[in-house]
With several copies, the nearest count.
Chain A
């Protein structure tokens, strides 16, 4: 089968297309996802192809969007809703935490809904269009959270998310949408939820990361490779449930751990990874566990500020050298 080159956003669109084609119970809705094709064009052409019945626009009502998706999912559909920016999900957080997250536990009725949410900064979006909120989701029982870094994973994880009987928060990175390309098959396979992927091997240290920071971490690893150090990069892909085995094996192989993410530091998902390692791989550690993250401040607008706000290749490689030389 010939492979074609797809961007991250193309892959998401391709995934939605296949899901709509193969599964009559899939519906796609959200603000401007219909004829317009979504703020980022992830749904472009889908309404035309599958009808206004299966792909449609909604009022600006995040709580009703999420709540109705829960109701549909409980009746056997597989709704995929788009929240225009993950930042806006905070207006209806109870529908995720209290409703979607608890329904199966309380009632045994599965809630196979998927919430697509574009995340992250690096494009001058300012404080309300650039947030990384993954740990708000990861901290919620009953919710799964995925965060692909490559087109093939974006599509493959979307398949798994939509077919999963649980609510899945499908985080997408806006910075990667058109920057990351891959040659992939027309349809491809599902990527299982809960399985990390080693993106680079190495024994001097390991970076645990996901989303846009996979790419920055790989660059940093390449950079210090020139200085004779080989760093493993683990792309978690799923944040909840995360791949404990892969993480612990990586720690065993390297003995030095760095966590990198674009979200705020205090109480972020990186803390969870560090805590896991500090609890379950303590005996394997030769150095402190380092977190490279955004600092605890709103995402600034000005490019001069955002440049230092987001973890950069330089910051990561510098910290890697310190870690390896500890």
Chain B
């Protein structure tokens, strides 16, 4: 972070963290934009699912946790992975099915996670990872750590039975988890009106005896402060909290989907609220950074992405001979 380079730059205790968050968002956005292009060039096996436009929630929450905390990201949370320290290189390896990647080619696209960074690799079944996180946090705390958990849930996933069981379980057992619903207005093609009929998903909180809050999921500055306050409470009370984050899926469900069912106005409205744009504006307007710094940061990210993609491409696929290796763990 090179914000000290120019004279006029102000600083406060938060500037560093904002810049780290920005970097994570840049990395996420640019990596996924590259993946999008690769998909449409026919260079990706399987699908591409992005979190473009939703980077703030993952980036803020990834940077705010401690090394002992546990995360259960969902489809769109590339910034959780990157924020917790997963390399862009590993994202490409994963998408390209490389044996060097986090799932060694056994799983694809968004289904990765690195336990040494406290991140679970998701299964596809919506909601299923929530109780895994609950158990993970319970275990780490039993083992003497002060772990808390961060969960990411789509508006669509809130309709699953697993969502209900996990939130209730966490509440009954006083498991400190921040359950974040990223309400991005759609579940695949289905608008949120066909997913639930409460006014806001935050109304589900009281049914679990949890505190519930609604926030703007695209405004890093506010989000950071809000989550910080909530986390203090969570750690103090050992109680889960439900946080409903308003945001928008800016692309199709996956790149195979042109999302023509999404009204243009809605996309326009959220384009204005692009989290990267908002954070950059804030940093610039307050003289926490200058254009040059940000350009430089973006360039650094792009370089890393270019190099990573090239490197990943050059790496081997898993050997067919290893197909059956590791179906079971050995003692």
Contacts and interface: CB of A to CB of B under 8 A. Distances in A.
A/B touching: CB–CB < 8 A: yes
A146 interface: no
B224 interface: no
A74 interface: yes
B324 interface: yes
B162 interface: yes
* Residue of A76, A106, A165, A307 most packed against chain B (CB within 10 A): A106
A94 B121 contact: no
A175 B190 CA distance: 25
Contact of B135 (A79, A107, A108): A79
Given A36-B188, A124-B108, A301-B108, A91 B162 contact: yes
B255 interface: no
B328 A303 contact: no
Contacts of A298: 106, 327
Interface stretch (A9-17, A54-62, A209-217, A229-237): A54-62
Interface stretch (B125-133, B198-206, B243-251): B125-133
A39 B188 contact: yes
Given A126-B46, A128-B123, A304 B139 contact: no
A300 interface: yes
Given A296-B327, A301-B103, A64 B128 contact: no
A279 B112 CA distance: 38
Given A63-B165, A68-B138, A305 B160 contact: no
B105 A75 contact: no
Interface stretch (A96-104, A181-189, A245-253, A284-292): A96-104
Given A67-B131, A70-B132, A75-B143, A60 B327 contact: no
B123 A98 contact: yes
Interface stretch (B166-174, B228-236, B272-280, B305-313): B166-174
A129 B124 CA distance: 8
A267 interface: no
Q: Most chain-A Cβ atoms within 10 A of its Cβ — which of B98, B135, B139, B159?
A: B135
Contacts of A202: none
A71 B161 contact: no
B107 to A, nearest CB: 5
A297 B121 contact: no
B323 A297 contact: yes
B187 interface: yes
Contacts of B196: 59
Given A64-B166, A71-B131, A126 B109 contact: yes
B328 A144 contact: yes
B330 A165 contact: yes
Interface stretch (A27-35, A219-227, A270-278, A317-325): A27-35
Nearest to B110: A126
Interface in B182-199: 187-190, 194-196
Bin chain A's interface residue count: 35 or more
Interface stretch (B16-24, B25-33, B314-322): B314-322
Contacts of B322: 305
B58 to A, nearest CB: 20
A110 B329 contact: yes
B156 interface: yes
Contact of A166 (B109, B124, B143, B329): B329
A75 B69 CA distance: 12
B319 to A, nearest CB: 7
Contact of A99 (B99, B125, B187, B329): B125
Interface in A78-115: 79, 85, 87-88, 90-92, 94-95, 98-99, 102-112
Contacts, number: 258
B106 A94 contact: no
Given A67-B135, A69-B135, A70-B135, A98 B327 contact: no
B282 interface: no
B125 A88 contact: yes
A309 interface: yes
B111 A60 contact: no
A119 to B, nearest CB: 15
Contacts of B129: 67, 99
B131 A87 contact: no
A59 B189 CA distance: 11
B97 A302 contact: yes
B316 to A, nearest CB: 9
Nearest to A143: B328
A31 B140 CA distance: 23
Most chain B CB within a 10 A radius of its CB, from A68, A70, A104: A68
A57 B190 contact: yes
A72 interface: yes
A301 B115 contact: no
Interface of B: 45-47, 97-99, 102-109, 111, 113, 115, 120-121, 123-126, 128-140, 142-143, 156-157, 159-162, 165-166, 168-169, 172, 187-190, 194-196, 261, 317-320, 322-324, 326-331
Given A60-B159, A70-B131, 13 more contacts: A35-B189, A60-B157, A68-B169, A71-B120, A72-B135, A85-B124, A88-B124, A106-B106, A108-B326, A123-B46, A124-B45, A128-B111, A128-B123
26 contacts: A36-B190, A57-B194, A59-B195, A61-B169, A63-B166, A64-B165, A64-B169, A67-B134, A68-B132, A68-B134, A70-B132, A71-B120, A71-B134, A72-B135, A72-B139, A74-B120, A74-B139, A75-B143, A77-B143, A99-B132, A105-B106, A126-B107, A126-B111, A295-B324, A301-B46, A305-B317
